[in-house]
Amino acid sequence: MSAPQIHPQATVAADAKLGAGVRVGAYAIVGEGVHLGDGCVLHAHAMVQGRSKIGRDNVFYPFCVVGGDPQDLRFRGERTELAVGDGNTFREYVTISRGTMSGGGKTTIGSGSLFLVSSHVGHDCHVGDHTLFVNGATLAGHVTVEDYATIGFQSPVHQFCRVGRYAYIGASTVITQDVPPFSRVVTERETKSYGVNTIGLERKGFSEERLKILARAFRLLSRSKMNTSQALVEMRKSLGDSEDVRELIRFIETAERGIVK
């Protein structure tokens, strides 16, 4: 492998250690006490802080902060650590905190994981191999996530919880207890339609008559005793002269995942 390539506008601490083939982009920062393994890539504006030992072939996208100070009011600058394995990807705005002395002093990340935009791993967490953190997935401190687990979009995991191997946490699910391995955990979905977006449509210039017709269509759809197919027949029969209603009917008839009612 070739020698490290460091952009002239990057900042690399004097005691940082860079393996063969490491690339550090413009305005990226490699802090004191950082060890970057062979083949790591820091895109522009990425930041890795120390003390952090990073394995091979990890990729850091713009504005991620890996190895930052723990978000703990008791932290007073103690020398704590982050250890990362090989082949992980940290997308934009990901944050990974080092440990705290009270939590053992070390955060660990395994190998082969993907951390999507704005996901967060708090201090003293231990993440296994081949995990997936979807956008906004968040671990509080002292959480353990085992191999092949998925943490869904905007799902927070409470302090000291464990997520077992191959577990799947669905989007927007709040975790306050341990998640067993192989399980699927998803919060209840109670999304409902409340009829016509009257104020928004008024602001877009819809007339009172258009709004009244749409309101009748939505009453047939969601407040009558008819099922969706029966409601569409009645909408076409009694309101079919309205282009708005015809658009609504076309949309419903082409829905592949059903509609919110």
Show me where the domains of the chain are located: 5-185, 198-253
Looking up tokens 């103690």 gives 78
Catalytic residue among 123, 126, 128, 129: 123
The residues, ordered by sequence, that sit 6+ positions from 175 with a Cβ below 8 Å of its Cβ are 155, 156, 157, 158, 161, 163, 169, 185
Catalytic residue among 67, 141, 142, 152: 141
CB 184 within 8 A of CB 149: no
Name which of 17-21, 76-80, 92-96, 171-175 the model is least confident about. Answer: 76-80
- The C-alpha angle with vertex 217 and arms to 216 and 223, in degrees rounded to 5, equals 80
User: How does pLDDT run across 142-173, given as a tens digit for each residue?
Assistant: 999 999 999 999 999 999 999 999 999 999 99
Active site residue 141: yes
Catalytic residue among 19, 50, 55, 124: 124
The residues, ordered by sequence, that sit 6+ positions from 151 with a Cβ below 8 Å of its Cβ are 119, 131, 132, 133, 134, 137, 139, 145, 157, 163, 169
Half-sphere exposure at residue 88, Cβ-oriented, CA atoms within 13 angstroms: 28
User: How does pLDDT run across 206-223, given as a tens digit for each residue?
Assistant: 999 999 999 999 999 887
pLDDT at res. 225: 84
CA distance 66 to 120: 10
pLDDT at res. 223: 78
Q: Which two tokens stand for residue 220?
A: 């047939």
The residues, ordered by sequence, that sit 6+ positions from 98 with a Cβ below 8 Å of its Cβ are 49, 51, 52, 67, 68, 69, 70, 80, 81, 82, 106, 107, 123
Q: Say whether pTM exceeds 0.85.
A: yes
Please give the CATH number for the structural domain made up of 5-185.
Answer: 2.160.10.10
Pairing of strands 89-90, 114-115: parallel
Kindly report the backbone phi and psi dihedral angles of residue 83, in degrees, each rounded to the nearest multiple of 5, phi listed first.
Answer: -125, 125
Active site residue 152: no
**CATH of range 198-253; options 3.40.50.300, 3.10.20.30, 1.20.1180.10, 3.90.120.10:** 1.20.1180.10
CA distance 19 to 198: 60
Band of residue 108 on the pLDDT scale cut at 50, 70, 90 = very high
